[in-house]
Amino acid sequence: MITLNAVTKLYNEGRPNEFAALHEIDLTLARGAMSVLRGPSGSGKTTLLSILACMARPTSGRVSIDGEIVSGLPERFLTELRRTTFGFVFQRFNLVRGLTALENVMLPTVPLGADYGQTRDRAMARLEALGLADKAAMPIEHLSGGEAQRTAIARALINDPPILIADEPTANLDTALAEKFLAILAEERAAGRTVILTSHDPRIWEAEGVDRIVTLRDGRIVEGATGEGAITEGAV
Amino acid sequence: MMIWARRQRALADYTLAALSRRKGKNIALVAIFSLVVFALSSAMFFAAALRHETTQVLRNAPEIVVQKLIMGRQDLIPGDVVDTIAGFRGVTSAKGRLWGYYYDRIDGANYTVMVPDDPALIPAVGHVAVGEGVPRARGLAWEGAPLFLSRYEGDLKRFDVDRTFTRDSALMTADLVLMNPQDFRAFFDIPEGLYTDVVATVRNQNEVATIVTKASNALPQMRFVTRADIERTYQKLFDWREGLLVVLAGAGLLAFAIFAAEKASGLSAEEAREIGILKAVGWDTRDVIAMKMWEGGLVSLGAFLIGTVAGFAHVFLFDGALFAPVLRGWAVIYPDFALTPHIDGVQLMTLGLLTVVPYMAATVVPVWRTASGDPDAVMR
Ligand SMILES: Nc1ncnc2c1ncn2[C@@H]1O[C@H](COP(=O)(O)OP(=O)(O)OP(=O)(O)O)[C@@H](O)[C@H]1O
Ligand SMILES: [Mg+2]
């Protein structure tokens, strides 16, 4: 269970350009479920994901994972959490330029001191599953948007994280690839992985396997806060 | 331990990939760094070698050298003057020497020709012993090659080379030709009983000044040169040149400081973003720093190595060719000499500490500052 209690995020706190991206968010997301955050651009979806995944700290409020409060932990522990708990597909992919697709996928394994050959095989398998076997040796900047996105997905899954987070994962994918990706997500969820997505894409809201839809607007949850909001409740 | 080593290996691998990915920038970096180290180490090697030569020269310098001056020029000294000097109170021995310079028209080099003080070193008639610079200058590579020297009359005289000195101090041996006194007199046309100068030893170092004062009064034509005088001359010569080298080294260090400060001033947006990404995918702040240490270490140690080896080659193999314009004054005294390789370990370590450490610090500090922030903030 991932729980946010009264989470507020201010950017540029105390400066004239201070901006509240999230207001007192209360939210609980179940383990093993697939949850989707939706809302207009700028509503705070990415910010919320960053806080969930311990990439950013809330200005106030608490984040807890399986009952343990993590929002106040020192950086060291947060690293550990990021490494062992979350796989994150970023909205802007955040791949390292100059490295190949394969090297990018292997990035999260470097500090683990894992066996290189085995890791490489695992990374290759991930890329293959996403139809990128022939792009593995290509520098990331030569990949198309969709290929880069799939590389980012492969990277998020390389360490087998219990929680997979994807920010607008289908934005650069055509229908066929988006469907393929959704099938992968459904598989992952069926295998017990927690999946948290944001999306503008109705294909995702309506996809099979989505358990929960949460709607954000202007940094507030306007629908689906308590989990009763089922898919049937319809669009925003 | 295994995990630690594997992790370091993985980080080092990543570093290598990172370095090769910014090849142009890193080559430029290593080039600048090596150049600075090259300038600094050349100056350092040169200064150390000069100082080493000085000690060698002084160690071998006689306590008192007596020259005869006529109209400000050196003249030959008759044997009875040697006896007079030996008779002064406090003087333990006085010996007439035979030595001079020989300008070799064939190769344009100057040799120092002398009859050695040590009787054991005196070659047989018709034979010479030479410093290694002589056959080198003449291009006489082969064993047993005779040395032909032309006399001032123009006729050639043949000498058999008994042996070649290897370097101890280049100043002392490289251009040296040792001769039998009989050959020396014949070759330079110096009558029996005359010497080029006289060396004297004293019983007590502290009495040198007194002895010289008295002797000067008794032999007003003679000039007495003490070891202290020689030391002063060398010191002047070396100080002036070392001063130049210090300026050069200072300029090098300054360049390096600017270079390091530029690096320390901050990371490029691209580098910061990369660090954010690494942290976001689970790298610890320590992992990021370790990776950057590898990077800084490979760059700085590599550049240090290249720079010092190039500096060493420059000074000792190419005789400090790039310093030649400022150091040409040497030719007046010891033409065409090569420095003896001499390395001051402490200096080398100092140079390493002065370059590698600040560079590593300049690399790591901004990384540490960036890497300790939240990945989200660093990445955006
Ligand atoms: N580092 C920052 N500094 C200042 N403002 C920020 C920063 N990051 C985000 N914001 C602002 O916070 C708000 C929420 O941003 P966020 O990226 O969470 O939106 P989003 O819902 O993901 O939008 P999109 O659908 O376009 O991705 C936006 O108005 C954005 O401009
Ligand atoms: Mg977003």
Per-residue pLDDT 10s for chain B (380 aa) are 677 888 888 888 888 887 887 788 888 888 888 988 888 888 888 777 777 777 777 777 788 889 998 888 889 999 898 999 988 888 888 889 998 888 887 777 788 898 988 888 889 999 988 887 787 777 776 667 788 888 777 788 888 888 777 655 545 567 788 999 999 999 988 999 999 999 998 888 888 888 889 888 988 888 888 888 877 777 776 666 667 777 777 777 777 777 777 776 678 888 889 999 999 998 999 999 999 898 888 888 999 999 999 998 888 888 777 766 665 444 333 434 566 777 778 888 888 888 888 888 888 888 988 888 888 888 77
Tell whether the model's pLDDT for residue A182 goes beyond 90: no
Q: Decide if A198 contacts A167 (C-beta within 8 A).
A: yes
Residue of chain B whose alpha carbon sits nearest to that of A155:
B281
Tell whether the model's pLDDT for residue A178 goes beyond 90: no
Comparing C-alpha atoms, which of B78, B130, B123, B77 is closest to residue B102? B130
Ramachandran region of residue A14, left (φ > 0), alpha (ψ -120 to 50) or beta? left
Instruction: Say if residue B80 is in the same domain as residue B157.
Output: yes
Which has more confidence, B239 or A20?
A20
Of all protein residues, the one whose alpha carbon is nearest to atom 17 of ligand 1 is: A46
- Residue A77 in contact with partner chain B when CB distance is under 8 A: no
Instruction: Say if residue B142 is in the same domain as residue B278.
Output: no
Lining residues, ligand 1, CB within 6 Å? A 11-12, 19, 21, 39, 41-47, 91; B 380
Of all protein residues, the one whose alpha carbon is nearest to atom 31 of ligand 1 is: A42
Cβ contact A76–B285 (<8 Å): yes
Instruction: Report the half-sphere exposure of B154 (CA within 13 A, side-chain side).
Output: 0
Tell whether the model's pLDDT for residue A232 goes beyond 70: no
Q: Domain ends where: B176, B194, B227? A: B227
B375 neighbourhood in chain A, CB within 8 Å? 55-56, 82
**Per-residue model confidence (pLDDT) at position A226:** 67
pLDDT band at A166 (very low <50, low <70, confident <90, very high): very high
Q: Are strands B176-179 and B109-114 parallel, antiparallel or unpaired?
A: parallel
Q: Decide if B76 contacts B195 (C-beta within 8 A).
A: yes
Q: Ligand 1: which atom is nearest the Cα of residue A47?
A: 18
Alpha carbon B207 to its chain's center: 34
Per DSSP, what are the bridge partners of residue A38? A215
Q: Is B6 helix (H, G, I), strand (E, B) or coil?
A: helix
Q: Decide if A62 contacts A7 (C-beta within 8 A).
A: yes
Token digits of residue A43 = 């509503």
Q: What angle do CA A194, A187, A205 make, to 5 degrees?
A: 70
**What 8-state DSSP symbol labels residue A209?**
T
Query: For residue B129, what are the CA distances in angstroms to B114, B201, B354?
Result: 10, 26, 45
**A123 vs A106: CA distance, rounded Å:** 6
Instruction: Say if residue B41 is in the same domain as residue B76.
Output: no
Q: Ligand 1: which atom is nearest the Cα of residue A216?
A: 21
Token digits of residue B196 = 């080029």
Instruction: Say if residue B34 is in the same domain as residue B73.
Output: no
Token digits of residue A60 = 């106030």
Q: Of the bound ligands, which one is closest to the alpha carbon of residue B376?
A: 1
**B332 vs B16: CA distance, rounded Å:** 51
**B144 vs B135: CA distance, rounded Å:** 11
Q: What is the mean pLDDT of chain A?
A: 88
Q: Is A230 helix (H, G, I), strand (E, B) or coil?
A: coil
Instruction: Say if residue B244 is in the same domain as residue B326.
Output: yes
Q: Domain ends where: B179, B195, B227? A: B227
**Ligand 2 centroid vs A182 CA: distance in angstroms?**
19
Tell whether the model's pLDDT for residue A79 goes beyond 80: yes
Q: For chain B, give percent helix, strand, coil, nearest 5.
A: 60, 20, 20
Nearest CB partner across the interface for A57, out of B3, B5, B374: B374
Of all protein residues, the one whose alpha carbon is nearest to atom 11 of ligand 1 is: A21
Q: Domain ends where: B227, B259, B294? A: B227
ipTM of the complex: 0.90
Cβ contact A114–B21 (<8 Å): no
Comparing C-alpha atoms, which of B270, B219, B289, B294 is closest to residue B378? B270
Residue with tokens 């060698």: B56
Q: Decide if B289 contacts B364 (C-beta within 8 A).
A: yes
Around Cβ A189, how many Cβ atoms within 10 Å? 19
**Ligand 1 centroid vs A22 CA: distance in angstroms?**
10
A116 neighbourhood in chain B, CB within 8 Å? 9-10, 13
**Per-residue model confidence (pLDDT) at position A58:** 94
**Mean pLDDT throughout A54-80?**
91
Q: Is B249 helix (H, G, I), strand (E, B) or coil?
A: helix
**What 8-state DSSP symbol labels residue B221?**
T
- Residue A147 in contact with partner chain B when CB distance is under 8 A: no
B1 neighbourhood in chain A, CB within 8 Å? none
The H-or-E segment that residue A60 falls in is strand A60-65
Q: Is B246 helix (H, G, I), strand (E, B) or coil?
A: helix
**Ligand 2 centroid vs B249 CA: distance in angstroms?**
54
Instruction: Say if residue B242 is in the same domain as residue B366.
Output: yes
**B225 vs B17: CA distance, rounded Å:** 66
Instruction: Label residue B218 exposed, middle or buried (CB < 10 Å: 0-12, 13-18, 19+).
Output: exposed
What is the total count of domains within chain B?
Answer: 2
Which has more confidence, A236 or B183?
B183
Nearest CB partner across the interface for A108, out of B13, B270, B282: B282
Residue with tokens 């910014």: B22
Cβ-Cβ pairs closer than 8 A, A with B, add up to: 90
Q: Ligand 1: which atom is nearest the Cα of residue A219?
A: 14
Instruction: Say if residue B47 is in the same domain as residue B66.
Output: no
Which has more confidence, A185 or B251?
A185
**A193 vs A34: CA distance, rounded Å:** 8
Q: What is the largest CA-CA distance in chain A?
A: 52
Q: Which domain holds residue B304?
A: 2-57+233-379
Comparing C-alpha atoms, which of B378, B366, B340 is closest to residue B48? B340
**Ligand 1 centroid vs A46 CA: distance in angstroms?**
7
Amino acid sitting at position A42 = G
- Residue A55 in contact with partner chain B when CB distance is under 8 A: yes
Instruction: Say if residue B10 is in the same domain as residue B108.
Output: no
**A138 vs A163: CA distance, rounded Å:** 28
**Per-residue model confidence (pLDDT) at position B77:** 92
Instruction: Say if residue B150 is in the same domain as residue B34.
Output: no
Token digits of residue B151 = 């006399």
Fold of A2-231: Rossmann fold (3.40.50)
Q: Which residues contact B229 (CB under 8 A, 6 or more apart)?
A: none
Of all protein residues, the one whose alpha carbon is nearest to atom 25 of ligand 1 is: A41
The interface residues of chain A toward chain B in range 11-50, judged by CB-CB distance below 8 A, are: 50
Cβ contact B374–A159 (<8 Å): no
Instruction: Say if residue B263 is in the same domain as residue B325.
Output: yes
**B350 vs B40: CA distance, rounded Å:** 11
Nearest CB partner across the interface for A79, out of B17, B22, B284: B284
Nearest CB partner across the interface for A103, out of B17, B285, B372: B17
Of all protein residues, the one whose alpha carbon is nearest to atom 28 of ligand 1 is: A42
Cβ contact A56–B374 (<8 Å): yes
**Ligand 1 centroid vs A87 CA: distance in angstroms?**
21
Around Cβ B174, how many Cβ atoms within 10 Å? 27
**B38 vs A88: CA distance, rounded Å:** 47
Cβ contact A56–B22 (<8 Å): no
Cβ contact B274–A79 (<8 Å): no
Instruction: Say if residue B253 is in the same domain as residue B370.
Output: yes
**Ligand 2 centroid vs A206 CA: distance in angstroms?**
20
Q: Which residues contact A122 (CB under 8 A, 6 or more apart)?
A: A158
Around Cβ B10, how many Cβ atoms within 10 Å? 22
